[in-house]
C-alpha cells in the first residue's frame, strides 16, 4: 500500500510506538486520525507534524468508554472519510502473579487489547468493504504466541488478537481488505514500567528501540504483510512454540523463576 493520500486511523497514537508510526505515516503524506487518551500529547504531535506533507488530526478519547469511543470514531470518519487503514495499537499490560491480579484491571486489559480492536473494526469495516480496499493492522506481541508467565492476562489478550486477525483475514479474503498482525518483542516504551525494565535486564530479555519497531511496522504495512514477528531469535521461538510447546516449557523454566521475583514486587 502506498501511504500518500491514504486515510488512516491509529489508536494509542501518543504512545511510544504509536507516535513514531504516526510520524512516519504523516511524513509519507497520509491523513491520520490519532486516537489516544492523552489529548495534550496528541496536540503536540499534531503541531510537530504541521509542515509534513500529510495531516495529523487529534481525537482525544478514553477508548474504554463506549460512548466517547463511538463519538470519536464518528468524528474521525466525518473528518477523514472512509479509512484505508485502521491500526489497532493502543494496549496495556500487567506484570504480576495471576493470583494477585486486580479483577477490574483484568477486565480493562481484555477490553482495551482485544474487545476495543474488535469494536473498532466492527464500526469501520462496513464502509471499508463498500470501498473495496483497505487494510486492518493489529499490533500484537510475541507474548501472544508464546504465553509468558507473570504476563498471563496480557498474553491471553494478544493471543486473542492474533486469533481475531487470522480469522478475519480468512473471512475477508477476496474483499480487498487485508489484515496484518504485527508482533513486536519487548520495546523501550512507557508501557514497560520500572519492574519490567529491571526484570528484562536481569533475564537478558532483548529490547528494541521504538524507532526501529515503527520502521518495521510501516514497512510491513507498505508490503501488505500478513503476519510479522519482529526480532530474532523470538521470531524463531514463535514457530518452535507452535510445534513443540513442551520444549519451550523447559527452555523458559529458569527465566520464569527469575521473572517471578520481579513480578511479586508489584
Ligand X SMILES: NC(=O)c1ccc[n+]([C@@H]2O[C@H](COP(=O)([O-])OP(=O)(O)OC[C@H]3O[C@@H](n4cnc5c(N)ncnc54)[C@H](OP(=O)(O)O)[C@@H]3O)[C@@H](O)[C@H]2O)c1
Q: Are 57 and 116 in contact (CB under 8 A)?
A: no
**What is the signed CA dihedral for 223, 243, 166, 184, rounded to 10 degrees?**
-50
Residues 51-90 touching ligand X, rule: CB under 6 A, are 61-64, 89-90
Alpha-carbon distance of 10 to 264, in angstroms, equals 34
The HSE-up count of residue 48 (CA atoms within 13 Å, CB side) is 15
Alpha-carbon distance of 33 to 16, in angstroms, equals 17
Shortest spacing between CB 81 and ligand X, in angstroms: 23
Catalytic residue among 83, 154, 181, 262: 154
Nearer to ligand X, 14 or 199 (CB): 14
Contact with ligand X (CB under 6 A): which of 6, 24, 31, 37?
37
Alpha-carbon distance of 207 to 210, in angstroms, equals 9
154 is catalytic: yes
Residues 140-159 touching ligand X, rule: CB under 6 A, are 141
Q: Does 178 bind ligand X (CB under 6 A)?
A: no
Q: Are 85 and 134 in contact (CB under 8 A)?
A: yes
Residue with cell 484505508: 84
- How many residues touch ligand X (CB under 6 A)? 27
Nearer to ligand X, 61 or 80 (CB): 61
Residues 89-118 touching ligand X, rule: CB under 6 A, are 89-92, 112
Contact with ligand X (CB under 6 A): which of 8, 14, 34, 125?
14
Site string for ligand X, 188-207 (x = CB under 6 A): -xxxx---------------
Q: Does 184 bind ligand X (CB under 6 A)?
A: yes
Q: Are 23 and 49 in contact (CB under 8 A)?
A: yes
Q: Are 62 and 38 in contact (CB under 8 A)?
A: no
Alpha-carbon distance of 79 to 215, in angstroms, equals 27
Q: Does 12 bind ligand X (CB under 6 A)?
A: yes
Q: Which stretches of the chain bind ligand X, using CB under 6 A? A: 12, 14-18, 36-38, 61-64, 89-92, 112, 139, 141, 184, 186-187, 189-192
Indicate which residues carry an active-site annotation. Answer: 154
Amino acid at each position: 500500500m502506498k501511504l500518500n493520500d491514504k486515510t488512516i486511523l491509529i489508536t494509542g497514537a501518543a504512545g511510544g510506538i504509536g507516535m513514531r508510526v504516526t510520524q512516519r505515516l504523516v511524513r509519507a503524506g497520509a491523513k491520520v486520525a490519532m486516537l489516544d487518551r492523552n489529548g495534550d500529547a496528541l496536540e503536540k504531535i499534531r503541531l510537530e507534524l504541521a509542515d509534513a506533507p500529510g495531516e495529523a488530526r487529534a481525537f482525544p478519547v478514553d477508548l474504554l468508554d463506549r460512548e466517547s469511543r463511538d463519538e470519536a470514531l464518528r468524528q474521525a470518519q466525518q473528518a477523514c472519510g472512509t479509512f484505508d487503514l485502521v491500526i489497532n495499537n493502543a494496549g496495556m499490560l500487567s506484570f504480576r502473579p495471576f493470583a494477585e491480579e486486580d479483577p477490574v484491571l483484568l477486565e480493562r486489559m481484555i477490553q482495551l487489547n482485544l474487545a476495543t480492536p474488535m469494536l473498532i473494526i466492527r464500526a469501520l469495516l462496513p464502509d471499508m468493504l463498500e470501498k473495496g480496499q483497505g487494510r486492518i493492522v493489529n499490533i500484537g506481541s510475541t507474548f501472544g504466541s508464546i504465553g509468558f508467565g507473570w504476563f498471563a492476562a496480557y498474553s491471553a489478550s494478544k493471543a486473542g488478537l492474533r486469533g481475531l486477525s487470522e480469522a478475519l483475514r480468512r473471512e475477508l479474503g477476496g474483499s480487498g481488505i487485508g489484515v496484518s498482525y504485527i508482533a513486536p518483542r519487548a520495546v523501550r516504551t512507557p508501557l514497560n514500567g520500572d519492574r519490567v525494565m529491571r526484570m528484562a535486564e536481569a533475564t537478558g530479555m532483548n529490547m528494541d528501540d521504538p524507532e526501529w519497531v515503527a520502521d518495521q511496522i510501516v514497512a510491513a504495512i507498505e508490503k501488505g504483510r500478513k503476519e510479522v514477528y519482529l526480532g530474532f531469535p523470538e521470531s524463531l521461538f514463535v514457530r518452535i512454540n507452535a510445534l513443540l510447546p513442551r520444549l519451550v516449557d523447559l527452555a523458559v523454566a529458569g527465566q520464569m523463576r527469575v521473572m517471578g521475583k520481579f513480578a511479586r514486587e508489584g
